[in-house]
Structure 1
């Protein structure tokens, strides 16, 4: 228990320093309440951590949980040993939050635009979402944005990264989703600790997703059963079809919103396009059910904010995958190249990545995945 005590004290001290900085810099500002729930929610999570080694040896640990945590430990070791991801205390402890998601992210976009609204926050810079530990608070914030005329989307998130500032724990929120999701999550979140550019969500998320996919491919090759490999192949195929559908409709929405049509006609055309998207998506549903999360939203209430949220995770992904392939999937070389891109101004960084796509041609672009918060209902 000494390890746990030292870690909790260290994390508590860091969080309190952050909280003090917030209070000093934002006194009297409406942001204080937002940061307060963020610091409080994170501290609660940190206090609840239990080392995985301790749970593996505890006679009271449920057998299924013990099996899952042993698998997590193997995946975590693989991430640092084989993928060159940070070797630290992250994902070596466990927390059961007693809920399906750790936070709920709020996305917003104007009624007739796919440009996601951004918020500027401490540490991470400007991001295109706002996270809440309490779903009701997230829904209330989204409702306030809708009153201002925004389309909004509230999405549950099973994991997040503190970028190495804290030893992030394994959570029940993603362990419950099965082996493939656990591996993707650990690889994705550790990639954020390796390279992260404050204020550039598309760059950060697309890079982490590229690492996630390369890591899963390697892990399955060495440790995956035939059944698990087949499940991953099926999920990739469905994600590729889903993403192609979204890309097609995003282009149509963008053309509509950039047109000179009167606002009333744009609204009518917007409704027709979303109806068409729902109908087209119906043909993609696998026999075992629709894709969870992102894809389920197509049937519930798709809008501009939801479309914008998905683009954040996949917009630059094909370029990162081409870059990785150009280095023969040598991850250390890839990481160095990405670190170089991260040092560039945002416009130059994005232009360099998009030039890769132009040089390769659309026929050579890898298929792309949807947001990491989504996934497949046919989990293994």
Structure 2
């Protein structure tokens, strides 16, 4: 996830002052709370579990730069305990009969399809104002964000308590994803940025486990594969209904007919999820929270993070699975106008 905090430091105007204040103070508080991992490891009161996870994080960090050619800087070499469940809470919004995310624009970063808050109540208050205007909204916790390398002077992006306890594969995904945001960034194209980072995380985790040895490596891989399989099934299910809803909203049916069809599709989505959960997933409840809040906004955000991931994975293969060539091509694409960028991504990914 990309940070709005750094961009907010550049905002001006009365309408943005409140957002500016919470973004700047929240990000600075987060960076001030971080200390080098070595200092934490030297603390005799550190719990064995946190010590183990911090050591793992540094092995992952070294692997990211050495084997995945991701930036070798101070990011994820410090750790902070924020004493809360999320780094930020994002607010996303769509119209009642559309999957088009409302966007907010900032200097340098361009326009993005969400707005981030360091305080949950502030996020919910902003969401309430959007809902009062007729929007469908989602407020969701975000465990980490990237400042695109802009906060190097503050020590880089830190490890956080919000994700440090993740299982090995999930911790690898998080670190690889956020570091990927420092490689390439296209203003006004959240889907491009997030899908690229998702592709890097997926490819990177496969490389990590392929190189892993020692006690517990096989078990960690199996645990990751099980979670990844559920994630793929979740995406297959939800993106199928996302497509059906998008086709419905774009149709020429009257709004009342669209509302009725939408209600039926959302009900069937919930029923299909319960069947998957109680059947193949054997009552695994890890996605209950998402489905309890499922609406246009949550479905729209799913497309943002995964819509172009297959194209990036094919592009990686087309560049001979060489990271430097892959990144160079992504950086080139990021500089293009959006429609041309999509056209060339499709073409390059499809080329032999």
> Normalization by structure 2: what TM-score?
0.91
Q: Give 1:44's aligned residue.
A: 29
The two structures, once aligned, show a CA RMSD in angstroms of 1.9
The aligned counterpart of 2:163 is 174
Structure 1: which 5+ residue stretches go unaligned?
A: 1-13, 361-380
Provide the residue aligned with 1:311 in structure 2.
303
Of 96, 100, 114, the residue aligned with 1:111 is 96
1: CA distance, partners of 2:62 / 2:94: 40
One of 320, 337, 358 as aligned partner of 2:312: 320
In structure 2, which of residues 98, 119, 130 is the aligned counterpart of residue 134 of structure 1? 119
Counterparts of 1:350-369 in structure 2, within 5 Å, are 350-355=342-347
1:221 equivalent in structure 2: 210
- Residue 104 of structure 1 aligns to a residue whose secondary structure is strand
Alpha-carbon offset, residue 133 of structure 1: 0.5
Structure 1 partner of 2:62: 77
Distance 1:38 1:215 in 2: 31
- In the alignment, which residue of structure 2 is the partner of 1:121? 106
Q: Report if aligned partners of 1:108, 1:117 keep a CA contact under 8 Å in 2.
A: yes
Segment of structure 1 superposing worse, 154-163 or 240-249: 240-249
Question: Residues of 1 paired with 2:308 and 2:230: CA distance?
Answer: 20
Q: Helix, strand or coil: the match of 1:193?
A: coil
Q: Contact 2:92/2:114 (CA < 8 Å) preserved in 1?
A: yes
Partner of 2:268: 276
Deviations along 1:56-82, whole A, 9 cap, x unmatched? 122122221111101101111111111
Post-superposition shift, 1:35?
1.2
The whole-number CA distance in structure 2 between the counterparts of 1:181 and 1:123 is 30
Aligned residue for 1:186, secondary structure, equals helix
**1:297 aligns with one of 290, 295, 313:** 290
Q: Is the 8 A contact 2:315 2:350 kept in 1?
A: no
Aligned residue among 78, 82, 86 for 1:101:
86
Distance 2:46 2:222 in 1: 31
**Aligned counterparts of 2:133 and 2:140: Cα–Cα separation in 1:** 20
Secondary structure, counterpart of 2:86 in structure 1: coil
- Residue of structure 2 equivalent to 1:244: 236
Unaligned runs of 5+ in 2: none
**Deviations for 1:108-135, whole angstroms, at most 9, x for unmatched residues?**
0010001111000233210000000011
Distance 1:287 1:177 in 2: 22
The CA distance in 2 between the partners of 1:343 and 1:35, in whole Å, is 27
Q: Quick one: structure 1 residues 354 and 346, their matched pair in 2 at CA, closer, same or farther if it must change by over 3 Å?
A: same
Give how far 1:94 is off: 0.4
**How far is 1:356 from its partner?**
5.6
Deviation at 1:165, TM superposition (A): 1.1
What secondary structure does 1:175 align onto? coil
Write the deviation string for residues 141-186 of structure 1: whole angstroms up to 9, x where unpaired: 1111011111101110000001101101000001122222211111
